[in-house]
């Protein structure tokens, strides 16, 4: 009797594992947080020039299920609702990106290999308004949280592209002594000299002279 019970229990436990191993569909695969998916620890909101998004903001998410299979067709969402000092552009200059201004999200669909590529256009809200610290962003795949990245922005005043006033805002964040995510470009967990160097590089590149044509409120 005990042997029969044990065999039945083993069969029940094995069934979902077997089903999972053969599943790669975005609608049926189980995604387990960040255990197998590839995600960035930090992302940067960027601007554009001539209607072309700055390539420096590009990043990749690869969605995998519990059995480490790629999840084709997964719905991947970048959620900035936890960062009130950041704003996304209503037009991401990417026909594959779906923007929800109310939820403050950008959504795209994973390819057959589970990968999806983002460049998120947006900025911040000026000096003295920094709020979000580290890990304020959220990345979801089919509704499962797979990462909480720190989110920075080069256009710190959200106006006129990346320029001198943004530098003034950065120095304000630096002087506060707080690890504000919007000014932590190097993903070190602090605002410091290397972040300043990265901001100067972005400014000098000339690839972010335009802010959002329309910002999500």
Total count of domains within the chain: 1
Task: Print the domain residue range for 135.
Answer: 24-205
Say if residue 6's pLDDT is above 90. no
Specify whether the CB–CB gap between 158 and 213 falls below 8 A. Answer: no
Distance of CA 141 to the CA centre of its chain: 11
Is 198 inside any structural domain? yes
The β-bridge partners of 31 are none
**pLDDT tens-digit series, residues 115-173:** 999 999 999 999 999 999 999 999 999 999 999 999 999 999 999 999 999 999 999 99
Asked whether residue 12 is assigned to any structural domain, the reply reads no
Taking CA atoms, 169 is separated from 43, 56, 105, 116, in Å, by 19, 21, 25, 32
Q: Is residue 213 part of a domain?
A: no
Q: Is residue 162 included in any domain, yes or no?
A: yes
Residue 217 lies in a domain: no
**Which pLDDT tens digit goes with each residue over 100-122?**
999 999 999 999 999 999 999 99
Q: Is residue 37 part of a domain?
A: yes
pLDDT in the model for residue 19? 35
For residue 2, tell me if it sits in a domain.
no
Residue reference for tokens 């610290």: 133
Distance of alpha carbon 194 from alpha carbon 57, whole angstroms: 17
Residue 156 within any structural domain of the chain: yes
Q: Which pair of tokens denotes residue 173?
A: 């964040």
Which residue(s) pair with 52 in the sheet? 49
Residue 161: φ, ψ to 5° = 70, -165
């Amino acid at each position: 009797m005990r042997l029969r019970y044990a065999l039945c229990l083993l069969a029940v436990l094995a069934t979902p594992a077997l089903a999972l191993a053969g599943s790669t569909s975005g609608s049926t695969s189980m995604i387990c947080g960040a255990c197998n998916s590839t995600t960035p620890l930090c992302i940067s909101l960027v601007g554009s020039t001539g209607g072309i998004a700055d390539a420096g903001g590009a990043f990749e998410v690869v969605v995998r299920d519990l059995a480490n299979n790629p999840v084709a067709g997964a719905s991947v969402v970048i959620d900035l609702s936890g960062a009130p000092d950041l704003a996304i552009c209503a037009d991401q200059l990417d026909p594959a990106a779906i923007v929800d201004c109310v939820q403050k999200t950008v959504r795209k669909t994973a390819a057959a290999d589970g990968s999806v590529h983002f460049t998120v256009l947006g900025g911040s809200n000026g000096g003295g308004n920094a709020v979000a610290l580290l890990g304020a962003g959220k990345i979801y795949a089919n509704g499962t949280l797979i990462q909480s990245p720190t989110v920075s922005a080069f256009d710190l005043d959200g106006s006129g592209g990346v320029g001198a006033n943004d530098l003034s805002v950065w120095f304000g964040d630096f002087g506060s002594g707080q690890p504000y995510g919007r000014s932590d470009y190097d993903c070190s967990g602090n605002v410091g000299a290397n972040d300043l160097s990265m901001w100067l590089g972005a400014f000098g590149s000339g690839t972010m002279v335009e802010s959002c044509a329309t910002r999500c409120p």
